[in-house]
């Protein structure tokens, strides 16, 4: 049976949505906001599906980054007041081998500046190449590499403070 563009869209969305939600969660730190951002991003991808010339994954990543940046900008202009205690409850996402390790990594990632989180999300969560990350974030390649390096330095310090101190002492 002939596949329609709509079928291709839906199939792509089913494959990409978990990664996009995860990436948005990394950038926004809020599950509901990340799902909203993913919906908006996928809708934009659907709307441009037949005009996408690059890989659909990198295009979706680029759109998601823009959506998340908008959310971050809006939050900066009008900080949200969380009144619902349930908002602070961690997501019951999955069974994790070492919950404490996961929590520590989440906390370390959350402490990174936005650009570094974006780079980490593109490179290691969505598996984009440096070139694709450059295109998705619309920053020079050198910026991607330096942000990656700084992010790793920061994570190294946050995840193993003692090693980080030693590392920086050298």
Partner 1 sequence: MHTDDCMIEERLRRHFAEPVEIGDLVDVVVGRYRRRRARRVVALVAPVIVGAAGIVALASSTSPSQIPRRPSVLELAGYQFDLPAGYRVAAPSSSSCGAITLGVPRAARTSPGAVPTVSPYATATVSAAVDANGGCVTMVVTPPATPTASTPTPYVRNGRATSATRVQVDTYTGWLTTQGALTRWLAAQGLVAPAPSPALQLSVAVPVGGGAYRLLVVGSRGIAQATLLRLVARGLSA
Chain contacts with partner 1 (rule: CB under 8 A): 9-10, 13-14, 17-19, 21-22, 25, 35, 38-39, 42-43, 46-47, 93-94, 96, 102, 105, 120, 124-125, 152, 155-156, 159-160, 163
Minimum distance from residue 5 beta carbon to partner 1 (Å): 11
The residues, any chain, with a CB within 8 Å of residue 85's CB and separated by 6 or more, are: none
The residue among 17 and 72 lying less far from partner 1, judged by its C-beta, is 17
Distances (CA, A) of 70 to 18, 27, 30, 42, 67: 21, 11, 14, 15, 5
The residue among 42 and 144 lying less far from partner 1, judged by its C-beta, is 42
Minimum distance from residue 162 beta carbon to partner 1 (Å): 10
The residue among 9 and 139 lying less far from partner 1, judged by its C-beta, is 9
Q: What is the DSSP string of 20-60?
A: HHHHHHHHH--HHHHHHHHHHHHHHHHHTGGG--S-HHHHH
Q: Which of 61, 34, 44, 52 is nearest to 122 (CA)?
A: 61
Minimum distance from residue 77 beta carbon to partner 1 (Å): 26
Distances (CA, A) of 99 to 12, 18, 89, 91: 31, 20, 14, 12
Cα 50 to Cα 106: distance, rounded to the nearest angstrom: 36
Minimum distance from residue 138 beta carbon to partner 1 (Å): 23
Minimum distance from residue 29 beta carbon to partner 1 (Å): 15
Distance of CA 36 to the CA centre of its chain: 13
The residue among 105 and 130 lying less far from partner 1, judged by its C-beta, is 105
Cα 53 to Cα 8: distance, rounded to the nearest angstrom: 15
The residue among 79 and 162 lying less far from partner 1, judged by its C-beta, is 162
């Amino acid at each position: 049976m002939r596949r329609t563009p709509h079928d291709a869209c839906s199939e792509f969305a089913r494959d990409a949505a978990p990664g996009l939600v995860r990436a948005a969660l990394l950038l926004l730190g809020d599950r509901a906001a990340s799902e909203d951002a993913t919906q908006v991003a996928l809708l934009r991808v659907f709307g441009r599906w037949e005009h996408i010339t690059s890989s659909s994954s990198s295009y979706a990543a680029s759109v998601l980054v823009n959506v998340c940046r908008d959310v971050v900008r809006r939050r900066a202009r009008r900080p949200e007041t969380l009144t619902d205690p349930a908002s602070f409850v961690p997501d019951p996402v999955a069974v994790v081998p070492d919950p404490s390790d996961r929590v520590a990594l989440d906390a370390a990632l959350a402490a990174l500046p936005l650009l570094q989180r974006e780079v980490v999300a593109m490179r290691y969560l969505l598996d984009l190449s440096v070139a694709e990350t450059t295109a998705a974030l619309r920053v020079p390649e050198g910026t991607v590499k330096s942000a990656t390096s700084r992010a790793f330095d920061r994570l190294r310090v946050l995840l193993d403070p003692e090693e980080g101190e030693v590392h920086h002492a050298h």
